[in-house]
Amino acid sequence: MSKEKVVLAYSGGLDTTAIIPWLKETFGYDVICCCIDCGQGEELDGLDERAKLSGASKLYIENIVDEFAEDFIMPCVKAGAVYENQYLLGTSMARPAIAKKLVEIARKEGAVAICHGATGKGNDQIRFELGIKALAPDIKIIAPWRMTDLWTMQSREDEIEYCKKHGIDLPFDTKHSYSRDRNLWHISHEGLELEDPSVEPNYDDLLVLSVAPEKAPDEPEYVTMTFEAGVPKTINGKAMKVADIITELNKLGGKHGIGIIDIVENRVVGMKSRGVYETPGGTILMAAHQQLEELILDRATYEVKKEMGNKLAQVVYEGKWFTPLCEAIRAFVDVTQQYVTGEVKFKLYKGNIIKAGETSPYSLYSESLASFTTGDMYDHHDADGFITLFGLPLKVRAMKMQELAKENQK
C-alpha cells in the first residue's frame, strides 16, 4: 500500500530541511518538496541534492516570477497599496502566489496535506493557510512550529542535531544571522540588533540589494519610463516585460540607495515587530506610477482610489488575497487604470526619487487653466458664487453660534 503524500513548502533552509525527516517519522508521509521561485536568485542553488539527501522523494522547483510580477505585484502597484504608510508588501504579495502553486502541486500529486515552516508568531502562517483554505478546503494543513507536542525543536542547534541523528550532514551552523526573505520585489531583514528598536541598523552588514544613501554616487542618474493602462512598458526607451523592468529598477535603485525602510509594524497576530526592508525597484516603480497618475485621475476618483489602496494593503497583508473583497477592490482599481498611459522622467540621487517631468495623452492638466493668465474657460467672477455655496454650511453655523452667544449674554 502506497504512503499518503504531503507537499512541503521547501526553501532549502534549516527549518524546512529538518521538517522532511520529521514528517516521515511522525506521520509516515511520502514527502514531496516544492520550492516556489519568486525571484530568490542564488538561494535556489543545490536544492535538489539537499532535498533528496534529507529524505524527500521528489522536488519541484516552480518558476512563477512572471506570474508573481504580473498577477500579484502589479495589482498592488496600480492600487498604490502600502501597509502602514511604508511597507510595500514584498512578502505579503508572494505568499498567496506560493499558496496557489502549492495547491496545484498537491492536486497533481494527489497529496492529502500541505506543510509549511512558518512560525506561530508571524504573519506567514496566516497568509499560507488562508490561501490554501480558499483554494483547497479539503486539504489538510500541517504547521510543525505550532504542534509543540510533536515538534520539540526550539532552536537551530536542536534542528542541526536532529538532522545529524537522521544521517543528514548539511552546511548549516549555529551562527546567528539575520532572518531574511527575498524575492523579485524586495528583501526583508529581521533579528540581531533589529530586535531592539533603540539600536541603529548595521547597514554595512545588513544590506544586500542596496547601498546606504550616503555611499551612493555623487552624481544623479536620470531615468525615463513609459506606462500603458497602469503597467510599465519601457525603461529609457527599452521595452521589457514587467519582471525584467523590476529587475532593472532594482539595480538602478540599489546603486542610488533607494527604498530602504526601517519600520516597526503591527503584525496580524497582534504584536509589533521591527524590520528593515530593501525595495529599491519597487519604490521607484510605485513613485513613477503615482507621478503619472497625478496627471490623469480626477480628484474624486483619486480620493476614493487612495482609500481603496489602503484597504487593499490591509487585505493583502492579512493574507486575504483569494477573497471577494480583494477581487472587488482590484476590479475598481483596474477601471481607474484605463487611461494611466504616458511617460515619466525622474532622477535618482542618494536615496531620493526626484521628478523631472511627465506627459500623457490623457492628461487632465490644462496649462491655460492653471496659469495666472485668465483664459476663456475660467472666469474669476465664477468663484464668487462657488465660494458662497461651498462655504454656506460654515456661515450658517457661525451665524447660529453668534445668535446663541448673544442670548447667553442677556
Residue range 25-34, pLDDT digits in tens: 999 999 999 9
What percent of the chain is predicted at pLDDT more than 70?
A: 97
| CA gap 59, 52 in Å, rounded | 8
What stretch of H or E contains 118?
none
Please pick, among 95, 127, 182, 330, the residue that the annotation labels catalytic.
95
143 and 17 belong to one structural domain: yes
Q: Do 244 and 207 have their domain in common?
A: yes
Q: Is 156 a catalytic residue?
A: no
10-27 average pLDDT score: 94
| Reported confidence tier of residue 77, pLDDT bands at 50, 70, 90 | very high
Mean pLDDT of 26-45: 91
Give the chain's mean pLDDT: 94
Q: What is the CATH number of the domain that holds 84?
A: 3.40.50.620
Check whether residue 206 and residue 160 sit in a common domain: no
Mean pLDDT of 143-171: 90
Same domain for 10 and 149, yes or no, is: yes
Sign of torsion over alpha carbons 115, 117, 120, 125? negative
Are residue 355 and residue 383 in the same domain, yes or no? Answer: no
Angle between helices 90-109 and 299-317 (to 10 degrees): 60
pLDDT of 170 > 80? The answer is no
Asked, for residue 54, whether it belongs to a domain, the answer is yes
Q: DSSP secondary-structure letter at 73? A: I
Residue 25, helix vs strand vs coil: helix
Task: Please tell me whether residues 158 and 20 are part of one structural domain.
Answer: yes
Mean pLDDT over 115-141 rounds to 97
Verify that 124 and 249 share a domain, yes or no.
no
Is 321 a member of any domain?
no
**Running DSSP on this structure, what letter comes out for residue 280?**
H
Q: What is the mean pLDDT of residues 72-85?
A: 98
Looking at the structure, do residues 66 and 153 belong to the same domain, yes or no?
Answer: yes
- Angstrom distance (rounded) from CA 390 to CA 15: 62
d(CA 395, CA 388): 9
Instruction: Please name which of 336, 375, 341 lies closest in space to residue 360, comparing C-alpha atoms.
Output: 341
pLDDT class of 13 with cuts at 50, 70, 90? confident
State the catalytic residue, choosing from 37, 54, 124, 182. Answer: 124
Number of domain units in the chain = 3
Q: Looking at the structure, tell me whether residues 11 and 120 fall in a common domain.
A: yes
pTM, two decimal places: 0.93
Q: Is 15 a catalytic residue?
A: yes
Active-site position among 48, 57, 71, 179: 179
Give φ, ψ of 311 to 5 degrees: -70, -40
CB-CB contact of 368 with 377 (8 Å): yes
Q: Is residue 173 part of a domain?
A: no
Q: Which tens digit of pLDDT belongs to each residue from 336-385?
A: 999 999 999 999 999 999 999 999 999 999 877 776 665 677 788 889 99
Q: Which long-range contacts (CB under 8 A, 24 or more apart) does 292-295 make?
A: 292/227, 292/340, 292/342, 292/343, 292/344, 292/358, 292/360, 293/80, 293/340, 294/358, 295/342, 295/358, 295/359, 295/360, 295/362, 295/363, 295/364, 295/365
Range of the domain at 394: 378-409
Quick count: other Cβ atoms within 10 Å of Cβ 324? 8
Contact 78, 306 (CB under 8 A): no
The whole-number pLDDT of residue 176 equals: 60
57-72: buried (b, 16+ CB within 10 Å) or exposed (e) per residue? bbbbeeebbebbbeeb
Q: Are residues 26 and 127 in the same domain?
A: yes
pLDDT of 173 over the 70 cut: no
Set 11, 15, 37, 54: catalytic member: 15
Task: List, for residues 305-337, the tens digit of each pLDDT value.
Answer: 999 999 999 999 999 999 999 999 999 999 999
